[in-house]
Structure 1
Amino acid sequence: MSLQLWLSLLAICALGAMSPGPSLAMVMQNTLGGGRSCGVIAGITHAAGVGLYAGVTVLGLAAVIVHQPWLYRLVTWGGACYLAWMGVQALRAGGSDGFGMSHRSSDWRRAMRDGLLVALGNPKLIVFFVALLSQFVSADLSVAGRWLIVATATLVDGSWYVLVALLLSHSRVLPWLQRHAAWIHRLTGLVLLGLAARVALG
């Protein structure tokens, strides 16, 4: 793969990672509830899910998901249900003292689960990779070139969301977020429910 082609891939992956959506809300929720470590873990496991989808795209399997309506619908509804569940949990936290989720969100296993399932339950990722990443995969592309595509998508996504978690957990930012935690939980819950409805209906 030429440097110019790789830079194009890098730009596409960066734009995809930075677009606001359920992933950003999920990392924010975990950082607010569990602190820096949970936000970072959520970002890393989200990147693992992205890498998995990038891998199946490189292997040509993602196209099978897109062209099998029942399988694609299963991923879509599974993702929508999980986003809705997260939204309800956030609203419940915001309805108490704003920290009702803190003791649970600090569990790194919860952060791992959220990061992975939000990535795997996002049907837009499948379409994104099939529509865009597949353009970088040619029949004569080497194994190293294919792994480079997967690694680029994974590292860009992970770097972005880890950076988001680090910025949100900064000593000047996190105290402000925690003072307004109740309202932030409510807003995040509404956003997640809205995204779940959009995924389900879209």
Structure 2
Amino acid sequence: MPSLDTCLAFFALVFVLGFAPGPDNIFVMMQSVTQGRKAGLVAMLGMCAGLAVHTLAVALGLAAIFAASATAFTVLKVVGAVYLAYLAWQAFRAPVGTLSAPVEQQPDLRRIFLRGWVMNLTNPKIVFFFLALLPQFVHADRGSIATQLCVLGAIFILSTLMTFGAIAYFSATVSTRLRSSPKAQLWLNRMAGTVFLGMAARLAMAER
């Protein structure tokens, strides 16, 4: 097990990094802004589910194998970029409603969760980030390496829940009045589509 000092130092680092602009927290923010606080929080949970998979992959050594394969990186990068472009297309086509819309018009939370999960899993940069960051906080004299990696991954997920949760909460608070206006919501949908397109282009051009 990592020492308490190691856990606290790791938590402080990833907590600050959680607020740095990136594809995942921007996705959570846009879901919260365009579809409400609950949608943002569910998207956050999907992202954390993806992080759990990444943690297990690193702990089992699968991520290192993946990182060594240029083909795997390219395939995952293309899949992720295509998925983001699909989200952009859906955002541009999203119907304009209001906060008083009936229940059946409310966002599909299961779909939003899966979007967050798939988006996180298809971001190859997370694999490299985990491989570069987590081993720096692992010490051979503290026991099983895999166990330490899993503990650090759990701390990372806890930090993500806190940072992304704050982003989802406050983004929804700021956008509540905007979402009550059909014209404002149309603008928000277009902004979301543009953001997703930009993220797709950025991921498509990413290099190992």
Pick from 165, 178, 186: which aligns with 1:162? 165
Equivalences for residues 65-84 of structure 1 within 5 A: 65-84=66-85
2:55 paired residue number: 54
Calculate the aligned-residue CA RMSD, in Å: 2.3
Equivalences for residues 105-116 of structure 1 within 5 A: 106-116=107-117
CA distance in 1: counterparts of 2:168 and 2:153, whole angstroms? 23
Residues 79/135 of structure 1: CA separation in 2 closer, same or farther (3 Å cut): same
Q: How many residues align?
A: 197
Task: Tell me how far 1:178 sits from its aligned partner.
Answer: 4.3
Q: Which runs of 5+ in 1 are unaligned?
A: none
1:22 paired residue number: 23
Equivalent position amino acid for 1:12 in 2: L
CA distance in 2: counterparts of 1:161 and 1:187, whole angstroms? 20
Equivalent position amino acid for 1:190 in 2: T
Would you say 1:187 and 2:191 are equivalent positions?
yes
Q: Percent identity?
A: 31
Equivalences for residues 88-167 of structure 1 within 5 A: 88-93=89-94, 97=96, 106-143=107-144, 144-167=147-170
Task: Tell me how far 1:98 sits from its aligned partner.
Answer: 6.4
Contact 1:26 1:114 in 2 (8 A): no
1:31 paired residue number: 32
TM-score (norm 1): 0.85
Contact 1:51 1:150 in 2 (8 A): yes
CA distance in 2: counterparts of 1:168 and 1:193, whole angstroms? 20
Residues 104/48 of structure 1: CA separation in 2 closer, same or farther (3 Å cut): farther
> Could you list the per-position Cα deviations for residues 101-126 of structure 1 after superposition, in whole angstroms to 9, with x for gaps in the alignment?
x8666111111111101111111111
Equivalent position amino acid for 1:8 in 2: A
Task: Tell me how far 1:187 sits from its aligned partner.
Answer: 1.5
Contact 1:32 1:178 in 2 (8 A): no
TM-score (norm 2): 0.83
Contact 1:10 1:156 in 2 (8 A): yes
> Could you list the per-position Cα deviations for residues 168-197 of structure 1 after superposition, in whole angstroms to 9, with x for gaps in the alignment?
233x64123443221121122111111111
Residues 190/34 of structure 1: CA separation in 2 closer, same or farther (3 Å cut): closer
Task: Tell me how far 1:46 sits from its aligned partner.
Answer: 0.7
Equivalent position amino acid for 1:46 in 2: M
Contact 2:80 2:123 in 1 (8 A): yes
